[in-house]
A and B are shown apart, each in its own frame.
Chain A
Amino acid sequence: MTSIDQSILTLILLVPLAGAILIALLPDQAKLPNWIALLTALATFGLTLHLPAHFVAGQSGFQFEFTRLWVENPAIHYHVGVDGLSLWLVVLVGLHAPIGVLASWNTIKTRRTIFYSLFLVQQTSMFGVFISLDLLLYYGFWELSLVPMAILIAMYGRKDGPKAALKFFLFTFIPSAPLLVAILWLYVKTHTFNFAELQYQTASGALPAGALFWVSLAFVFAFAVKVPIFPLHGWLADTFNEAPVAMAMVVAGKLGLYSMLRFHAGLFPVQARALAPLLMVLALIGILYGACLALVQRDFFRLLAYGAVSHFSLVILAIYGLTLNGWSGAVFQILNLSIVEAAMFVLLGALESRYGTSQIDSFGGLAAKLPRTATYFVLASLAMIGLPLLSGFIGEFVILSSTFTGVSRSAAIIAAIGVILSAAYMLWLVLRLFYGPVNSISDSKPAHDLSFGELVALTPLVILMVVMGVSPSLWFNTIQAGPHPPGTQAIVKYIRLLESAPPAASTTQEVQR
């Protein structure tokens, strides 16, 4: 390990924060905050690219690890590292940053210093969530990520920002109270916040199983709200509708889904298996419910929100199917969804800022006037639907096939219906926005096609959709080096192994391999 490998994750955390402080201190003149934010975001993205370049693909376990004592008592460590699960998610957050800045370039006109500072703080907190290996450090970033989001929704909400911000904050903050109690309980029982040690301890059977069940429930509850999963999705539509584009594209999905993989299924394998049927049923309901609601929305941000519920539910189905292929597909699908949703938000945000409305029936026949917008939108829609050779196909296919062969045929069939419905609402949206008769409301406004900045933001996303669709193995190689789902047989063997091994803390690492 060279020294840059040790400090790279810390740099990734600190660069956006430094940028945020710099922006806050400088005056709000011309486009100065925009440029600093863009440069910071690009620098951070460049740093995140160091990770896949130097990641050892065949090696399981965490890489780029760095540990230092942060708080003495109780011992909280600054402990960061990435593995196959978090590697691409970190890069994804890095990629979102410059796109978010470009998407906000012209739409954010007031108080730019506050906007870009908070935007970069949000980046830091999301990086923190993905790379923290100390449970309390993770919790810290998890909570911190709420604050800039809530403030920016309140500041730049389209109609009733504060109300949506309050809803978002309370929905996600209140479940984190039981989460904190659960973390504290784990600490009191095990005297550690270290992820690897906790994993060992929860699997060793030394902790009371009944209490552990409740602890794991507290974990999954907090994550399920954040994803969100049916029936805890109440905040999502308002948030999508109100949040500035740069924030809306990062608010949902990946944080919660990643946490489920790492800190629920990864930390409580036995309890996750017990809860899996319930979560799978909720996921199936979510797939159909979200898709059906998306069909009847009149506002395209709300349509996107319910579509997202449906798509995220498919990922949850894959996670709690607890198969290896399912997990790989889940991680891939998280990446795909984040990229497609980012593109969608940039495009719809562009329409909204040009025409001042997000009502679908105010639009019609835009393809002739806005050819570039229409092309990009159709491409993104096809990727979302899962057309072969685009990224969405791979994720959905892997998830559905692994569910069909490894988990439950009926579940796979129900999920496939959801996929068909998603084609219906997306294509119908394309039809209503860009084709069909020219609408008088949108026709009365001057038509401006995508600006240079928006094209710069969108083009890499569309290229990624194609590349991910054509050669997914670039990603799957590293993803499969990540954590594997706990199998029933594996758990039994694992516990026997642990029982035979001396439970000294120093052997934890060896036992786990």
Chain B
Amino acid sequence: MNPVPDIYRILPEVILTLTGVVVMLIDASLPPGVSRRYLGFVAAIGATLAIWASIWQLSLPEGTGFFATVETSNFTVFFHVLICGIVLVALLLSLDSLPSNTHHQGEFYALIVFGAVGMCLLTSAVELLLVFIALEISSISTYVLAGYRKHVGRGPEAALKYFLLGSFATAFFLYGIALIFGATGTTEIYKIAHAAPGAQNQILVIASLALMLVGILFKVSAAPFHIWTPDVYEGAPSPVVALLSTAPKAAAFALLIRVVYEAFPTLRSLWSPLLWAVAVLSMTVGNLAALRQQNVKRMMAYSSIAHAGYLLAAFAGAPEIGIPAAAFYIAAYAAMNVGIFAVITLVSGYDEHLTLIEDYRGLLYRSPFLGSMLIFFLVSLIGIPFTGGFFGKFYSFTAAVSGGAIALAIIGLLNSGLAAAYYLRPALAAAHRPDSDALVQPRSRVGVTALAALAFTAAATLMLGIVPNTVLRAAQSGALTLQAPAPEPATPAGAATATPSEQPAQ
């Protein structure tokens, strides 16, 4: 059998990188007066090609390339498609919402694409140094994007805060890599799994796991590493937040699975309760804080912390069943959260003069289309059946209950009841009859690209809620490939028996 050329293993990343470079080059060579708006379309085409390339990778035999540093498997393809899809929608949304005379518009699109390179690489890297590089690529792009509106409101503050805290967290992660290299002599994830149980200094191994978890949980924005989230979400432009609240989270979650599940399966007795606690803390802190917010973006920031908690709950309860559940959850969450930020973008505009929940009053009367969309995505976030949010939660908590974590399931579902209270506030405000004199008109025109973004996310949310089979199957096959390379002695007892019985679809 012919070996797969290494370049095929990173084809989506290569396409995205080339797209980014092309966008930058065109941006630099165009005369200053010319609109850069069409560069967004170039970037969107690049993202579409990357999705296509990821799906094409399914035809490759599973395996690693570039000296066992990157992997292609169903797992990586699932996350690649998800991340590139989010990037595509974010690009379409930015195309509509960025004023055509904005400075550095070309850079904006290029940065989004470069960020996507980092996030994609993060999910396929199986060597910790490459993971670190991918983490840096994605982080640095997002730092800049968060501060894109240099002269508006709290943009610079948000970017600086994000940058400082983010660098700090990444440093923790790097330190963790150094320690595990010291303990085992390798940075390859599969080799660590073999070497770590036999390492002489177990304290180093445990410390390394702890440090890496800090870095990852920061990226997932799980409590208690969530402090940056509300400020950054408030300050960054809405299309960027749509990206920021979903894609890096998906990538970081893939990384979390790689690190705790693949590299440290023997330390499960340590990380499992830890993630349990983080899940409960994130859900509760996120939801309680969101209840008190008046600013819609801050509210959604706390809601994203709570969703990080639900995500971890799926994984913490019973990893074997939980991984596909969590992967499905992140897809559903991405669809509805990007959707709601699309609505927020369209309602508040680039300069974001409408930010408070009270400003949404009467939206359903003023703009029935945007109002219905807002309510639809909020209903999905609440987790009402026949939307993606319901099946996300359903699979998450089924995993928790079958893993015996009934307490976690009850806490989680009560939290989702709590969450309904704040998701309903903008929804009911939108449904409230407006005071006739206090009308602030939102933009009446919804551009074609923004319409496409909305349609795409709404269709995805609805599809995940009515016909979830395809995505679920993809998530399950991804989870299976993930478990395959795990070393036999290190696989926790029960994993092998639990998997086939719970996944008859395979």
Contacts and interface: CB of A to CB of B under 8 A. Distances in A.
Interface of A: 24, 71-74, 110-111, 113-114, 136, 139-141, 143-144, 146-147, 150-151, 154-155, 161-162, 165-166, 169-170, 173-174, 176-178, 180-181, 184-185, 187-188
Nearest to B473: A72
Contacts of A147: 379, 384
A174 to B, nearest CB: 4
A144 B390 CA distance: 11
A187 B410 CA distance: 15
A255 to B, nearest CB: 15
B409 interface: yes
Q: Which of B401, B473, B504 has the most CB of A within 10 A?
A: B401
Contacts of B384: 143-144, 146-147
Given A136-B394, A144-B386, 7 more contacts: A114-B372, A151-B375, A162-B428, A165-B424, A176-B417, A185-B401, A188-B398
Contacts of B503: 73
A176 B365 CA distance: 31
Contacts of B401: 181, 184-185, 188
B476 interface: yes
Interface in B424-442: 424-425, 427-429, 431-433
A462 B173 CA distance: 74
Interface string B371-415: 010010001001011100011001001100110001001100110
Interface residues of B, number: 43
Nearest to A176: B417
B431 A162 contact: yes
Nearest to A218: B410
Given A72-B505, A114-B364, A154 B431 contact: yes
25 contacts: A24-B372, A71-B391, A71-B468, A74-B398, A114-B368, A140-B386, A143-B385, A144-B386, A147-B379, A147-B384, A151-B375, A155-B433, A161-B428, A161-B433, A162-B429, A162-B431, A166-B424, A173-B382, A174-B420, A176-B417, A178-B414, A180-B413, A181-B409, A184-B397, A184-B401
B414 A177 contact: yes
B469 interface: yes
Given A73-B503, A144-B385, A169-B420, A181 B397 contact: yes
A157 to B, nearest CB: 8
Contacts of B432: 154-155, 161-162
Contacts of A177: 410, 413-414, 416-417
Contact of B414 (A73, A111, A140, A174): A174
Contact of A184 (B375, B385, B398): B398
Contact of B421 (A141, A144, A166, A185): A166
A187 B503 CA distance: 15
Nearest to B375: A151
B406 A185 contact: yes
B472 interface: yes
Interface in B443-484: 468-469, 472-473, 476
Contacts of B502: 73
Nearest to B404: A188
Contacts of A187: 398
B431 A188 contact: no
B68 to A, nearest CB: 33
Given A71-B469, A150-B424, A166-B428, A111 B364 contact: yes
A140 B431 contact: no
A169 B502 CA distance: 34
Nearest to A185: B401
Contacts of B397: 180-181, 184
A154 B429 CA distance: 8
A139 B385 contact: yes
Contacts of B394: 136, 180, 184
B428 A150 contact: yes
Contacts of B476: 73
A113 B375 contact: no
A181 B413 contact: yes
Contact of A73 (B365, B382, B386, B472): B472
Q: Which of A24, A111, A162, A185 has the most C-beta atoms of chain B within 10 angstroms of its own C-beta?
A: A162
B504 to A, nearest CB: 7
A188 B402 contact: yes
A144 B379 CA distance: 10
Interface in B30-63: none
Contact of B409 (A162, A170, A184): A184
A188 B317 CA distance: 14
A110 B469 CA distance: 40
Given A114-B364, A144-B384, A151 B427 contact: yes
Contacts of A154: 427-428, 431-432
A155 B424 CA distance: 13
Interface in B333-382: 364-365, 368, 372, 375, 379, 382
A141 B406 contact: no
A371 to B, nearest CB: 34
A139 B398 CA distance: 15
A154 B374 CA distance: 15
A111 B363 CA distance: 12
A167 to B, nearest CB: 10
Interface string B58-87: 000000000000000000000000000000
Contacts of B365: 110-111
Among B385, B402, B417: residue with most chain A CB under 10 A: B385
Nearest to B465: A140
Contacts of A114: 364, 368, 372
Contacts of B417: 170, 173-174, 176-177
- The CB with the most chain A CB atoms within 10 A, among B365, B414, B432, is that of B432
Contact of A141 (B382, B385, B410, B427): B385
B157 to A, nearest CB: 33
Contacts of A176: 417
Contacts of A169: 420, 424
A113 B364 CA distance: 11
Contacts of B468: 71
Contacts of A139: 385
A140 B505 contact: no
A374 to B, nearest CB: 32
A169 B383 CA distance: 13
Contacts of B410: 177-178, 181
Contacts of B431: 151, 154-155, 161-162, 165
A170 B422 CA distance: 10
A73 B406 contact: no
A20 B356 CA distance: 31
Contacts of A113: 368
Contacts of B390: 140, 143
B419 to A, nearest CB: 10
A287 B394 CA distance: 38
Interface in B152-200: none
Nearest to B391: A71
Given A73-B504, A113-B368, A173-B417, A181 B406 contact: yes
Nearest to A174: B417
Contacts of B372: 24, 114
Q: 6 shortest A-B CB distances, which residue pairs?
A: A140-B385, A177-B413, A174-B417, A154-B431, A162-B428, A154-B428
A178 B413 contact: yes
A173 B420 contact: yes
A469 B365 CA distance: 45
A146 B402 CA distance: 28
A332 B285 CA distance: 48
A424 B130 CA distance: 80
A474 B409 CA distance: 47
Contacts of A74: 398
A72 B504 CA distance: 9
Contacts of A140: 385-386, 390
Contacts of A170: 417, 420-421, 424
A317 to B, nearest CB: 29
A111 B406 contact: no
